[in-house]
Amino acid sequence: MNPSPLYKYVPIDGLKRILQGSMRFTQPSAFNDPFELLPEIVTPIDERARTLNISFDITAQRRQPPVGEMEDVPDQCCASDSTSRAIVKQLNSLIGILCLSRVKDSLLMWSHYASQYAGALVEFDGLYEFFDGQIDVEYRSQRPRRNISTYLSPHEPVPVSELCVKSDQWKYESEVRIIRRLSDCEMTGTDPRGFPVYIRKIPRDSIRSDTFGERTTVSDQREIYQCVRDTNISLSLAAIDHWGYEFRTEMIKINGPVSGGMLGITPRTAHIFSHLEGPFGDLARQLIKSHPMSEIVNNIV
C-alpha cells in the first residue's frame, strides 16, 4: 500500500470540523453516486427470493483471482436488483466510509466538493493509524457482475473492498477509502437526507496542511488562520496562476507555530492580516495600499 499523502476537498464548515478533531464516516447510500457498493448479482430466473445470510470483512483486500466474477449472463439467469439493494441496505446499517483522494490539484474536485473553490483542501499524513486499511477504489467501464451462488457464500465473508468499484467516469477522483464499523463510531445527529451522522476522532497531528481555494472568503481565511496559527499545520492559498489551467501556491504559514517562523504576507494574502495590530498588520496594510498588484490579485473571479 502506497503511504503517500491523502487529501480531502471540503467546504469551510467541513474544514472547521476536521480542525476541531472529527471526521464523518458515511453510509454508502448517503453518497452522491447511487451505484455505490451496488454490483450486478446474477441469479437463476426461477430462483425464489431468499433471505440473505452475508457476513462482511471490512479490512480484507480484494481476493485474487476475483471470486464469483462473471463476464456474461448465462441463459436462464438474470440480474437481481432486489439482492443488490439488500446488500447495500445491510451495509448501511453496518459501516461508514471516509472518502479521500490521492490527487491534490483536481479542478473538478475543487468545484464539486470544496464549495466551488470557496472551500479548502486538507492534506493528511497517510501513515497515521487513523488511516489504516486504505482501499483504492477500482474504476471500470462496466458494472461488476457477480454469481450469487459462489460470491455470497455463508462460509466466507465478503471483503467490502471488492464492492468499492465505480464507473470510470469517476476516475479523476483517484479515491481512497477508509472503512469502519458504525459500532466503533459516535452518532452525532442526522444529515439533511435523514441519514444518521457518525464520526470518529482524528488526531490533529495527522493534518499536514490546509489550502484555501481561490474564492474562500476573507472572513473564513482569518478564522482558519486563527485555528492553526499555533500548530504545525501549514497554510496556503491556491490562487489562479497567470498561465494555463493551473494554481500557484501562495504560502501563508509554514508547518510550525507563527511565533517560531515566518508568515507569507503577499499582496494576495495581505487581507488575512490587515485587521491586526503590530508588525504583521502594518506590513499587510502597507502592501494593500501601495503594492501595484494588490488590487488585481485580490479581485476574486
With respect to residue 179, please indicate whether it lies within any of the assigned structural domains. Answer: yes
With respect to residue 239, please indicate whether it lies within any of the assigned structural domains. Answer: no
Residue 296: predicted pLDDT: 72
With respect to residue 209, please indicate whether it lies within any of the assigned structural domains. Answer: no
With respect to residue 294, please indicate whether it lies within any of the assigned structural domains. Answer: no
Residue 150: predicted pLDDT: 81
Residue 264: predicted pLDDT: 84
Residue 160: predicted pLDDT: 95
* Total number of domains constituting the chain: 1
With respect to residue 64, please indicate whether it lies within any of the assigned structural domains. Answer: yes
DSSP the chain: -----EEEEE-HHHHHHHHTTEEE-B-GGGSS-TTTT--EEEEETTPPP------EESSPPPPSSPSSB-SSPPTTEEE-HHHHHHHHHHHHTTEEEEEEES-S--HHHHHHHTTTTTSEEEEE-TTSGGG-S-EEPEEESS--EEEHHHHS-TTSPEEGGGG-EEEGGGGGG-EEEEEEEGGGSEEEEE-TTSPEEEEEE--GGGEEEEEE-TT--HHHHHHHHHHHTTSS-EEEEEEEPSSTT-EEEEEEE-SS-GGGS-B---TTTGGGTTT--SHHHHHHHHHHHH-TTHHHHTS--
With respect to residue 54, please indicate whether it lies within any of the assigned structural domains. Answer: yes
pLDDT per residue rounded down to tens, the chain (301 residues): 445 899 999 999 999 999 999 999 999 999 999 999 999 889 888 776 666 678 899 989 999 888 888 888 888 888 888 888 989 999 999 999 999 999 999 999 999 999 999 999 999 999 999 999 999 999 999 999 988 888 877 678 899 999 999 999 999 999 999 999 999 999 999 999 999 999 999 999 999 999 999 999 999 999 999 999 999 999 999 999 889 999 999 999 998 898 866 788 899 899 999 999 988 899 999 999 998 887 777 777 7
With respect to residue 161, please indicate whether it lies within any of the assigned structural domains. Answer: yes
Residue range(s) defining the domain that contains residue 40: 22-103+131-203
With respect to residue 183, please indicate whether it lies within any of the assigned structural domains. Answer: yes
Residue 1: predicted pLDDT: 45
pTM above 0.85, yes or no: yes
Residue 301: predicted pLDDT: 74
